[in-house]
Amino acid sequence: GAVVSQHPSWVICKSGTSVKIECRSLDFQATTMFWYRQFPKQSLMLMATSNEGSKATYEQGVEKDKFLINHASLTLSTLTVTSAHPEDSSFYICSGRPGLAGGGALYEQFFGPGTRLTVL
Amino acid sequence: AQSVTQPDIHITVSEGASLELRCNYSYGATPYLFWYVQSPGQGLQLLLKYFSGDTLVQGIKGFEAEFKRSQSSFNLRKPSVHWSDAAEYFCAVGAYSGAGSYQLTFGKGTKLSVIP
């Protein structure tokens, strides 16, 4: 199956600093990428959807100025948590969807391994 | 808007026993249905999916699921559980949101423990 990588796997930062998480589709072109947040022992909550070359669409309640998403190419999306605070500590997971334009099934998503963010 | 309910938060079975994880969905049209498995600290791995056609779908690792439209269910089954199946299982429905974008909505997950 298609492979999605995330970097870093885990990161610890001080409160007030910014952290960038990369999501890469390694063997397919992801026309759409999704970012999810998962709290301990809870489900995945969609944060935002981004299409290559377009601004991300954020879900209700997600601060777009705090969680900056860039999808500059068909294989790379980044999530930057700006001025991170302890409440931003979470497990962040990205996924990529090839879509018909990308040669894949429209409704399939491939998930990355996740990034554990801890803000001290 | 679509929603997914996984009624069982935690299930414990003995190794070799059969397994059924329940999933109910709410969506106005025929949804695209998925089951994912997540090991601790890991991302999600797709077990199987249903788009259309045969309502009994086979997945990886010996799992299968049956789509029952009349019950709005998509239960996951495995005839004989292995200790390595211990993980968190998520049911998801793919559908178009009110804003016109396609997205996955996940259930809260069912944690599976396996007794040796």
- Tell me the pLDDT tens digit for each residue of B49-93: 998 889 999 999 999 999 999 999 999 999 999 999 999 999 999
CB-nearest partner of A57 from B90, B101, B109 = B101
Nearest to A63 by CA among A80, A50, A77, A51: A80
- Per-residue pLDDT at B10: 96
Average pLDDT score over residue span A22-32: 92
Which residues of A are less than 8 Å from B50 in CB distance?
none
- Per-residue pLDDT at A111: 93
pLDDT band at residue A102 under the 50/70/90 scheme: low
Cα distances (angstroms) measured from residue A23 to each of A85, A94, B42, B61, B105: 22, 6, 15, 27, 20
Nearest to A91 by CA among A59, A109, A67, A117: A117
Partner-chain contact A111 B43, CB within 8 Å: yes
Count how many pairs of residues, chain A against chain B, have C-beta atoms within 8 Å. 50
Select from A41, A43, A57 the residue whose CB has the most chain B CBs within 10 Å, as the one to mutate to test that interface: A43
